Amino acid sequence: MINVLLIRVVRTLLTLLGVLVLAFALGRLSGDPAALLMPLEATEADIEQARRQLGLDRPLPEQFVLYTADILRGDFGRSIAQGRPALEVVLGRAPASIRLGLYSFIVAVVLGVPAGMLAAYQRNKLADQLLMSLSLAAQSLPSFFMGITLILIFSVQLGWTPAFGDDTWRHYLLPIFTLSVYSLAIIIRLTRSSLLEVLNQDYVRTARAKGLPETRVRNVHTLRNALIPVVTVLGLQLGSIISGAAVIETVFAWPGMGALAVTAVNQRDFPVIQTIVLLSAFAFAFFNFAVDLLYVWLDPRVRL
Amino acid sequence: MLASRQPIARLAATSSERWWHRPRQLIRKMPTRVILSFVILAVIVVGAVFPMGFTSFDPNTPTFSARLTAPGDPTFVLGTDDLGRDLFSRVLYGGQASLVIGVFAASLGLVVGTAAGMVAGYFGGWLDHVIMYLVDVQLSLPFLLLAIAVALVFGNGLLVMVVIAGLATWPGYARLCRGLILSLREYEYVTAARSLGAGSGRIILQHLLPALVAPLLIFLTINMGRVILIESALSFLGIGIKPPTPSWGGMIDQGRSLLGVAWWVSTVPGVVLTLLTLAIGSIGDWLRDVLDPMLKTE
């Protein structure tokens, strides 16, 4: 068990190393960091000196080691647009994103699992067909257009919810709904199919045959096993929520990291983008690691 | 050769017959939703490929006297935007970007991912480790953020968009193909082919690839929808196709500030984009049901 855990940790760290290499390469391709940091009137000699100070005259592998050391110390460079440390700029926007993402995630799970169960138990009946069609549609909807349509209906026409910002609970309704729809659809479909599979197993028939009440069969015997595949996709869904957030935050002018990333592109503020990419990759890796642990706890047969 | 055909047929023929032996039956049994999807797809493709057949307006020429005309106007059927450009013609021309991305980006992902996955699955060893490591690295990044970073570095434009959206899908193909090859290469017909002296390249291309066609076709369809969504999202964020070249994402973005006065500027391209992705999604879903009984959603 400890060995297995260790291997998992090493793999996660290796993956993160790959992400660092990628970020480093993109950073070097994005332009000369020394020239970007210096004022416009700086001379060639000034830039050359800044280069040496930043270690840019050394071979690339050495630069990468320096870069990694900086990142590990929490030095993600300076935001070009704001002049402050990029990490500070990004962390200032993090709480709004985490709140939105977390609530959307909770909504997707809390609604998705029961809806998937309902579909499975009502298989091929009206409720099932409705849920399946809706979730198929939801997976191929452009989320940003859905957000805009919701703003048009509920904010512009009906005036029920505010369209922009994050001040009151009403501000949360539309963004959470929009952001959770995709994951919700995936969770519904997966819960349904995995529950249907479990319901076909011999031990479920045995449980029924020995006269257990249906509620006990459903809640005790099948649900836990049916949820195992669902748990695995939860990890992946976090990624789609982070990706979706970049778009949804822009639609609803949400003061989070996703909207910041979009602004940063237009300002060509690479350090900020890089910080957001790295932080999300770290969060994503950590989350998936936690999901793996949960997985083992749910299903003792599983080896990581 | 006979030895190679039969087991593949056995693999695919979990249902009684192979699907291309009964096209007429297939079409007759096609659900209404799928027929409708094909019709929508056909209309959008024809409209985007031959826009001049349907409109005489140039998508970028403003008619200042007709700014923000509502849809239903006799001249401007779907209305105009805040510069007085005809939305119908912009939607037709805007479809070109989406379809080019849909076809080329999805194909790029298919070729790269399938090649990588087959090589990893067939040869195993360090090649397998390296390829799967790259898959892991990419999948550990929220894709849109990576796309944003790449767009910042390499600029935007159709070619960059094709590459970005194409790269979004390769890990999926790689995993799918690797898994299938791992189980397929154990089959007797592969051993038979090898003992007859077939080289790795021949085995992969002639004996293994045909068995992957059905799952790959399903995946390709689903991914076409995905890459179109990625392109439109990036264009919406101002990182994708640059104005004045019309793209649906860009048009939706443009209409965002006009929601209070002219709902149609965002809604018209948005509805067309939604119809297209819904159509592709339901065709993909149907293909999965028809072609691959093993992958059925139940």
Q: Name residue B86's beta-bridge partners.
A: B80
Domain of residue B119, residue span: 28-55+79-291
User: Is there a domain that residue B269 lies in?
Assistant: yes
ipTM over 0.85: no
Spatial CA neighbour of A252 closest among A125, A96, A124: A96
Q: Does B223 touch chain A (CB under 8 A)?
A: no
Q: Does B150 touch chain A (CB under 8 A)?
A: yes
Q: Taking CB atoms and an 8 Å limit, are A281 and B274 in contact across chains? A: no
Confidence of residue A172 (pLDDT cuts 50, 70, 90): confident
Q: Taking CB atoms and an 8 Å limit, are B149 and A136 in contact across chains? A: no
- Residue of A140, A191, A249, A263 to mutate, interface with B, max B Cβ within 10 Å: A140
Confidence of residue B15 (pLDDT cuts 50, 70, 90): very low
Q: Which tens digit of pLDDT belongs to each residue from A59-80?
A: 888 888 888 888 888 888 888 8
Which DSSP symbol is given to B182? H
Separation between Cα atoms, residue B267 and residue B109, nearest integer Å: 30
Q: Does A10 touch chain B (CB under 8 A)?
A: no
Domain count, chain B: 1
Q: Which tens digit of pLDDT belongs to each residue from A180-217?
A: 998 899 899 889 988 888 888 888 888 888 888 888 88
Q: Taking CB atoms and an 8 Å limit, are B145 and A246 in contact across chains? A: yes
User: Is there a domain that residue B261 lies in?
Assistant: yes
Rg of chain B over all Cα atoms, to the nearest angstrom: 23
Q: Does A29 touch chain B (CB under 8 A)?
A: yes
pTM of the model: 0.84
Q: Which tens digit of pLDDT belongs to each residue from A26-65?
A: 888 877 666 666 666 777 777 777 777 777 777 888 888 8
Domain A95-303 sits in CATH at 1.10.3720.10
Q: Where are the domains of chain A?
A: 2-72, 95-303
User: Which CATH number covers residue B204?
Assistant: 1.10.3720.10
Indicate if the pLDDT at residue B279 is higher than 90. yes
Q: For chain A, what is the largest distance between any 2 Cα atoms, rounded to a whole number of angstroms?
A: 87
Separation between Cα atoms, residue B290 and residue B285, nearest integer Å: 9
Q: Does B227 touch chain A (CB under 8 A)?
A: no
Confidence of residue B5 (pLDDT cuts 50, 70, 90): very low
Indicate if the pLDDT at residue B1 is higher than 50. no
Q: Please give the structure tokens belonging to residue B213.
A: 């066609």
Q: Taking CB atoms and an 8 Å limit, are A136 and B256 in contact across chains? A: no
Q: Does B130 touch chain A (CB under 8 A)?
A: no
Separation between Cα atoms, residue A95 and residue A279, nearest integer Å: 13
Q: Does A13 touch chain B (CB under 8 A)?
A: no
User: Is there a domain that residue B60 lies in?
Assistant: no
User: Is there a domain that residue B23 lies in?
Assistant: no
Residues of A in contact with B249 (CB under 8 A): 144
Task: For residue B296, give the chain A residue with the closest CA.
Answer: A193
A and B: number of Cβ contacts within 8 A: 146
pLDDT-wise least confident of A143-147, A240-244, B117-121, B273-277: A240-244
Provide CB contacts within 8 A for A232, sequence distance 6+: A291, A295
User: Is there a domain that residue B142 lies in?
Assistant: yes
